[in-house]
Structure 1
């Protein structure tokens, strides 16, 4: 069969990860056309990344045709899978998302707190426009979204469109599984984790090796100073052992922003003074990566890409796509409609949870209520996500202020309003719904 994949945001530095994943899985996912799509401002990066993709495929001797396009509608015609990996406002918008909150003694982070709010406000209207094009030009395609904040993007598509063939994906759960496998010195495919929660707010409730539960053992390892359990983009501050032992769940790296707020804020402020905020660091990394990508002799994904923070991205993405295509029925953690799987959250909300992956999409595995110790925080973040999606669609100032204020990283309504007003002004070019 001929399989067509369209990647919107094809000029991303992550694209070589995705191409590597398609090459590795060609035997089970015979992609014939890969369309890399970007906007005019990303034309140069698209050409650089696209040429690297072509060299990688040529080296692998795969019959995959790569198309580069600035015309999204042209590319989408008759697609089988559409992937999205965009940054509206590019890296400069991320830098503003991180630096402005710090001025008010609030964590500045890409997908959490005020930064997550504004990334969602910029991104959701664009994603909903893409969904309209998909419904018209390739209505049978699956939309696999990697764009952060992935949970809110998935929530918005499910809630504000009639398109239901959408799955949100994040590399955090697979990153956790890989780290636990390394910690236990076992192969990753022997490790199973019961994941449940929200994107960047997911917990590992139970851990198994070869079917035997080892949760307590892993919790004890996670709290040791030799096992940081973090990611490139998040400071690996130590957990208080007694806290994690009492929690009785494996936190994800992003939980540090909520359980170690003061320490993470101080860490961010120090790093911003010494090396710049994370967005500024990423800007330098990306400049170095694209210089590597330009090398006409480079025909592999360079190892330096791991510093960007996208480890296992291609494994998660291509594994999901191949499982839908082949109706595998295997278990993977994704963002999808809850449908009662987590009793503590509304049925119609997007959640991040283990699912059985079929040709008809993810089927969430019911876990009942979340443990009482984590339930309240997850519900508060879901309230924030729901209100944020509403603000993104309506452009209502008061709704945006409400979302900012109920986020647990923002200390008061006064501070929320100050940050909101400054960020609305800073990002006004990408927020036409508020203008």
Structure 2
């Protein structure tokens, strides 16, 4: 069985240890000969990497491990690049969230003005990773789960159209794991789903078990009362189950009410209920602050403890189980297994009554040729209208980045459903531009 070499771009991320643990739990499906960490912040990466090296050596000492800030070292002789970078780190995420809230507008890392600001920062970083891979390992695949995935996907479609790159998001998988629990199944593969939309902006239309039984009626009834909350969300400590995520999962019941025949992505709450979201957000202590005070401290503390003890035995470190989609994707590409997955791909007729150049999130079969999307057909007027508005925002952001256009970025802000007026859009844009001059192109 072929053993792969991978590089994790974003080696200093707090999600990296959980992904390493998940990879090590799946070595029977996806054997590894080499794991490399790449980051442009050597100091931050060092803490995470030293702990992960100990974890890897304890599990399988035959796997070569390396941490580096040098692109040539990182990207040479790799089969898969796993990219989850955060340009500007949590300091900039905090500003993405707090600046819109000053004007009574949703402050969120991937939705509305905050997502636009983050997208303007992320484009260059992801393009650099693609270019490094193509220079040093041209036969490799880049699996991008850096946010905001919708804007990054549009940028890579347009600016690196022939690259071996796949954009993917963990949120639908996380929600589908809750479906599995609601229905009383054991594992994600027990259900087969139909879904369409844009990233963080979509709907499930059909869910069946392996025998073809329709599970939507039971799920719709449950969600209309409870949203996506399940008991383990209230009991377990995991990425998508803290207090703020519980509130988001519960709100899915109200989101679903607009189209009870479908099941919505949780992020639609920011577009359907922006007034509610602002009202229930502390403008001085946002999600970024919560993450800094919890996940950041916990993961770095656990990594330092592992390094100090020189063993992972008896230390707290959580397997990022929902991230098993990364292994599923790598397995499909490496072993031609036709894994069925939700991926972000160019529409090109998949949704027949929608922009063919839009980057849509739909079920695909993954082989060594890459993703092969499954046809959706036509979509209803409401979803089509919402998606057209949102995809226009995403395209305008990439226009703005490419053309260095202040006007296009203002148009993108003004077109977002989360922003109440053109004048408010301009105020938010001016504030965000001021703090992002280090990261954005100079706008004219």
Task: Give the drift of 1:224.
Answer: 1.1
Does the residue aligned with 1:295 lie in a helix, a strand or coil? helix
Task: Give the drift of 1:411.
Answer: 0.9
Aligned to 1:341: 350
Does the residue aligned with 1:428 lie in a helix, a strand or coil? coil
C-alpha RMSD over aligned residues: 2.2
TM-score (norm 2): 0.90
Moved more, 20-29 or 419-428: 20-29
Task: Give the drift of 1:303.
Answer: 6.3
Moved more, 180-189 or 237-246: 237-246
Task: Give the drift of 1:280.
Answer: 0.9
Task: Give the drift of 1:313.
Answer: 4.2
Task: Give, in whole Å, the separation in 1 of the partners of 2:163 and 2:135.
Answer: 14
Task: Give the drift of 1:162.
Answer: 3.7
Task: Give, in whole Å, the separation in 1 of the partners of 2:318 and 2:433.
Answer: 32
Aligned to 1:29: 30
Structure 1: where are the runs of 5+ without partners? none
Task: Give, in whole Å, the separation in 1 of the partners of 2:57 and 2:162.
Answer: 36
Task: Give the drift of 1:78.
Answer: 2.8
Aligned to 1:18: 19
List 4+ stretches of structure 1 deviating above 6 A.
300-304
1:406 correspondence with 2:419: no
Aligned to 1:163: 162
Does the residue aligned with 2:157 lie in a helix, a strand or coil? helix
2:227–2:252 CA contact under 8 A, matched in 1: no
Residues 1:18 and 1:432: Cα distance change in structure 2 (over 3 Å): same
Residues 1:338 and 1:226: Cα distance change in structure 2 (over 3 Å): closer
| CA deviations over 1:191-241 (Å, ceiling 9, x no partner) | 121121111112111111232112122111001137437944543344556
1:6–1:76 CA contact under 8 A, matched in 2: yes
1:261 correspondence with 2:274: yes
Does the residue aligned with 2:323 lie in a helix, a strand or coil? helix
1:95 correspondence with 2:109: no
Task: Give, in whole Å, the separation in 2 of the partners of 1:181 and 1:313.
Answer: 12
1:177–1:192 CA contact under 8 A, matched in 2: no
Does the residue aligned with 1:27 lie in a helix, a strand or coil? coil
Task: Give, in whole Å, the separation in 2 of the partners of 1:394 and 1:327.
Answer: 39
Moved more, 409-418 or 244-253: 244-253
TM-score (norm 1): 0.92
Q: 2:405 aligns with which of 396, 405, 411?
A: 396
Aligned to 1:291: 301
1:344–1:368 CA contact under 8 A, matched in 2: yes
Does the residue aligned with 1:336 lie in a helix, a strand or coil? strand
1:381 correspondence with 2:380: no
Moved more, 111-120 or 60-69: 60-69
Task: Give, in whole Å, the separation in 1 of the partners of 2:258 and 2:218.
Answer: 10
Task: Give the drift of 1:259.
Answer: 1.8
Moved more, 96-105 or 53-62: 53-62
* Matched residue count: 425
Task: Give, in whole Å, the separation in 1 of the partners of 2:255 and 2:128.
Answer: 47
